[in-house]
Amino acid sequence: MADPILKVEDLMKSFGGVVATDQFFFDIQQGEFHAIIGPNGAGKTTLVAQISGMLKPDSGRILFDGQDITGLSAAERSHLGLARSFQITSVFRHFSARQNVALSIQARQGHSFRFWKPAARDSSLTEPAMKILSDLGLANRANVLADNLSHGEKRQLEIAMALATDPKLLLLDEPTAGMGAEDSARIREFLGGLKGKYSMLLIEHDMDTVFSLADRVTVLVYGRGIATGTPEEVRGNAEVRAAYLGEDDAAHA
């Protein structure tokens, strides 16, 4: 069997005595759609930061496609094929939608120490950027400044930028954050379309999205993975119900 696309071994991270990630193990198989859920403060954000390379773990290893990437920077991980989208929309507001995507393509094409030719007229950037925008149904918004896009469009652009780096693994940090039900459904449908084409790690709050899309789910509580399994297995897990779903039910009651 092939190496898992991502393997996390015994990851530890604490901030001044507060343990945020605690002996965390998990893996994502090639082509798998894996979701991580957990209540607020479970350490999801810290985990994403460590996997994407924004934060150094105290100990433990992260393997990407069989290679130890624990010591690599975020940029180096991106070049290996690990792409992420952000929970808080972080598109480049003063660039057009096309420029946003073109920037990602520029990154994957190697160094950018090119000082003379206008990037906006470089067809090796603009054409693939337009293609990705068309695929997402954003072609007619290509020249609009990202700042002027709707919230849903910004979230889509956010994912488009991650896709444009030609990733092997997509790390999606709460792609439906701050969205209404209608927009959430649209993103869910869109993610469903990506399923199978990319290995994906979804960090999510929205249960509908997680349980309808994920192959496997890992539940994170106080920095520890308390359960991993198919959506049905996780739903049935008593510890999970106590720690998380129970709370969720109570909140809905």
Partner 1 sequence: MELTRLKGWLLAIGFVVLVAVPPAVTAMDETFYITLISRIMIFAIAALSLDLILGFGGMISFGHAAYLGLGSYAVGILAFHEITNGWLQLFVAIGGSAVVALIIGAICLRTSGIYFIMITLAMTQLLFFIGISLETYGGDDGLPTDRSEFAAFIDLGNEWILFYLILGFLVLCMYISWRLINSRFGMVIRGCHENEARMQAIGFPTYRYKLLAFVISGSMCGIAGFLLANLTEFVTPEFMHWFRSGEIMIMVLVGGMGTLFGPVVGAFAFLMFEEIISGFTENWPVIFGPLLVLLVLFAKQGVWGLLPKSKAGDG
Positions touching partner 1 (CB under 8 A) are: 52-54, 73-76, 78-79, 83-84, 86, 90-96, 99, 102-104, 106-108, 112-120, 122, 125, 143, 145, 161-162, 164-165
- Tracing tokens 């759609």 back to the chain, one arrives at 33
Q: Which is nearer to partner 1, 76 or 239 (CB)?
A: 76
- C-beta of 75 vs 250, nearer to partner 1: 75
Q: Residue 48 CB, nearest distance to partner 1 (Å)?
A: 10
Q: Strands across the sheet with 33-37, in order? A: 82-85, 169-173, 199-203, 33-37, 216-221, 224-229
Phi then psi dihedrals of residue 240, to 5 deg:
-65, -45
Q: Shortest Cβ distance from residue 168 to partner 1 (Å)?
A: 13
- When the beta carbons of 106 and 218 are compared against partner 1, the nearer one is 106
Q: How many Cβ atoms from other residues are within 10 Å of residue 128's Cβ?
A: 18
Residues 6 or more apart from 48 whose CB is under 8 A from it?
Answer: 84, 87, 171, 173, 203
CB of 115 to partner 1, least distance (A): 5
- Block residue for tokens 């994502």: 28
Q: Measured from the CB of residue 23, what is the shortest distance to partner 1 in angstroms?
A: 26
- Between 144 and 207, whose beta carbon lies closer to partner 1? 144
Quote the CA–CA distance of 24 and 8 in Å, as a whole number. Answer: 7
Find the shortest distance in angstroms from Cβ 113 to partner 1. 6
Nearer to partner 1 by Cβ, of 73 and 134: the residue is: 73
Tokens of 3: 């190496």
By three-state DSSP, how is residue 103 classified? Answer: helix
